[in-house]
């Protein structure tokens, strides 16, 4: 691979990921490779300042499940995570005789309603990681095409960058090499971590109407 022109050109800008929240969704199929890719992505996210508490990692069985998982995770990150004590107690039945109608537990009296809140805010980027290795049937082609199109549609529909971290390898060796698990190989997960921080930073800037001079 010496002399190749392939690969990501490093950005001149050192993007700051300290306020960015990223989800990594990875398939467990071909787990030896996907695990290495996740490690590479996390390492570069942290290198750009993304806090460990702002890196959420979820897994699904295979690459075909990645689009649905990414879609639901993006949607779920927009759901408010605060509930009042009245909300939490409303359906409970403390000593009420069976069969007695009950509309819900009254709110605490003599003060404001207490909130039990968990921190939650939308993800700035999602990294979808999977490994597809061509076999003897058309399964590889069908999954590769459908997952690629679905992940692209999700980022266009939601406005949240979905980094395409699905390796489509023809052989085991190609997959291992692209996860940095062979001599002279390179872990592409590192590129995806950097891309997530860069795209999240770009979208914040573009959303504020700021563009490169």
Segments making up each domain of the chain, as ranges: 22-78+122-207, 82-95+103-118
**Residue 139 is a catalytic residue:** yes
**pTM, whole model, 2 decimals?**
0.81
Q: What does residue 27 show for φ and ψ, rounded to 5 degrees?
A: -85, 150
Phi-psi region of 200 (alpha: psi -120 to 50; beta: other; left: phi over 0): alpha
- CA 13 – CA 10 distance, rounded (Å): 9
* Confidence at 12, pLDDT banded by 50, 70, 90: confident
For residues 134 and 107, the model is more confident at 134
- Mean of pLDDT values over 29-42: 97
Give, as one character, the DSSP assignment of residue 187. Answer: B
Domain 22-78+122-207 classified CATH 3.40.50.960?
yes
Pick from 54, 49, 64: nearest CA to 24: 54
* Confidence at 166, pLDDT banded by 50, 70, 90: very high
Phi-psi region of 9 (alpha: psi -120 to 50; beta: other; left: phi over 0): beta
pLDDT, the chain, mean: 85
Helices then strands, each counted (H, E), the chain: 6, 6
Which residue among the candidates 26, 78, 139, 149 is catalytic per the annotation? Answer: 139
- pLDDT tens column, 91-117: 444 444 544 444 444 444 444 434 334
Sign of CA dihedral 187, 191, 193, 196: negative
Looking at 32-118, which runs of residues are DSSP E strands?
A: 55-60, 82-84, 115-117
């Amino acid at each position: 691979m010496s002399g190749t022109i392939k690969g990501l050109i490093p950005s001149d800008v050192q993007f700051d990921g300290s306020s960015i929240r990223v989800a990594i969704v990875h398939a467990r199929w071909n787990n030896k490779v996907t695990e290495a890719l996740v490690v590479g992505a996390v390492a570069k996210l942290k290198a750009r300042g993304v806090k460990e508490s702002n890196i959420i990692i979820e897994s699904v069985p295979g690459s075909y499940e990645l689009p649905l998982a990414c879609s639901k995770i993006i949607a779920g990150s927009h759901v408010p995570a605060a509930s009042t004590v009245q909300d939490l107690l409303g359906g409970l039945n403390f000593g009420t005789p069976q069969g007695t109608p009950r509309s819900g537990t009254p709110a605490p009296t003599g003060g404001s309603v207490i909130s039990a809140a968990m921190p939650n805010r939308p993800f700035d980027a999602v990294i979808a990681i999977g490994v597809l290795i061509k076999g003897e049937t058309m399964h590889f082609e069908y999954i590769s095409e459908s997952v690629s199109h679905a992940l692209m549609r999700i980022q266009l529909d939601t406005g949240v960058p979905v980094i395409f971290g699905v390796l489509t390898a023809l052989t085991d060796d190609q997959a291992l090499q692209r996860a940095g698990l062979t001599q002279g190989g390179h872990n592409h997960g590192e590129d995806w971590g950097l891309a997530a921080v860069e795209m999240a930073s770009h979208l914040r800037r573009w959303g504020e109407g700021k563009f490169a001079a």
